[in-house]
Amino acid sequence: MSVSVEVRNLSISFGAGASAVKVLPGVSFSVERGECFGLVGESGSGKSTVLRCVSLLTDFWKGEVLIDGRSVRDMPLIERCRTLQMVFQDPYGSLHPRQSVRTVLNEPLVIHKLGDREERIRRAITDVGLPVSFLDRFPHQLSGGQRQRVAIARALILEPSLLLLDEPTSALDVSVQAEILNLLQRLRNERGFTYIMVTHDLAVVDHMCDRFAVMLRGEVTEILPHEAIAVNGASHPYARELIGASLEYEGIR
């Protein structure tokens, strides 16, 4: 169960008339089956917007998004949800305040008519390192990192082939981050999951991704293999600057 992704000339504007702003002028990249593809770049450059367009959460874009060669727009909703899931940057906003963790995890199983629900729910919550007793809590009773782990568990519970991850571990301490990254890597090895992962941490990119794109003001400046980070092998000036700053931040120079 592995899918490829092809994004061709994806463009989108927000607002109408004179105040319209072109956020993505035309983004293209492709992700192979089972690949982990990183999206990094300037804050506000459009990384989350790209993920929202690919998942059709935002649908008024132009261009093409092909999943295994088929337009994402041609996939029926149910099939789309089984194929791709997204983990949002903002875990508070993405969980319903009056739904317990159990409801959050159970709902997709009901919608998709999957059996062994209790078993699946317990495995999902344990996989992200939370105790089963947390199933009866509500989002406001969780810490920031605990909410993020619930969001990850919700995305994993349908076992999608493509996961769109928006800063999945930036709210987690590095020991929990290590557990989540190991889990994502294991799922990729075992089931061939494909990932598109937004992060500001180039160490995470180097650890997880095969290739990554560097974005600036809505455009992909350069696509690089992960090995280019340690040696700062970028040629676009912004990509060079960003990698250089990250190496300095890590104390490597």
Partner 1 sequence: MEKTILDVQNLRIRYGGSTTEAVRGVSFTLGRERLGIVGESGSGKSTVGRALLRLLPGATITADMLRFDDVDLLSLSEKEMLKIRGRRMSMILQDPKFSLNPIRRVGDQVAETYLRHFQCSRREAHEKAVAMLEAVKIRDAERVFKQYPHEISGGMGQRVMIAMMLLADPDLVIADEPTSALDVTVRLQVLTILDGLVRDRGIGLIMISHDLNLVRNFCDRVLIMYAGKVVETLKAGDLDQARHPYTQGLLAAQPRIGGTRQPLAVLDRKPEWLEENA
Contact partner at residue 107 from ligand ATP, Mg ion, partner 1, none, CB < 5 to 8 Å by partner kind: none
- Choose between 71 and 141: whose C-beta lies nearer to partner 1: 141
- Window 137-196: residues binding Mg ion (CB under 5 A): 143-144
- Choose between 67 and 176: whose C-beta lies nearer to partner 1: 176
44 interacts with Mg ion by CB under 5 A: no
Residue 252: both structure tokens together: 């490597």
- Choose between 121 and 208: whose C-beta lies nearer to Mg ion: 208
Q: Where along the sequence are the contacts to ligand ATP (CB under 6 A)?
A: 14, 23, 43-49, 89, 140-146
- Choose between 21 and 77: whose C-beta lies nearer to partner 1: 21
- Choose between 143 and 182: whose C-beta lies nearer to Mg ion: 143
Q: Where along the sequence are the contacts to partner 1 (CB under 8 A)?
A: 14, 21, 40-44, 48, 89-93, 141-146, 149, 166-167, 170-179, 181-182, 185-186, 200-204, 206-208, 217, 229-230, 241-242, 245-247, 249-252
Beta bridge partners of 194: 162
Beginning with the edge strand found earlier in the chain, give each strand of the sheet holding 84-87 in spatial order. 84-87, 162-166, 194-198, 36-41, 211-216, 219-225
Residue 42 dihedral angles phi and psi, to the nearest 5°: -60, 145
48 interacts with Mg ion by CB under 5 A: yes
Task: Name the minimum Å distance from CB 49 to Mg ion.
Answer: 8
Q: Which residues bind Mg ion (CB under 5 A)?
A: 48, 89, 143-144
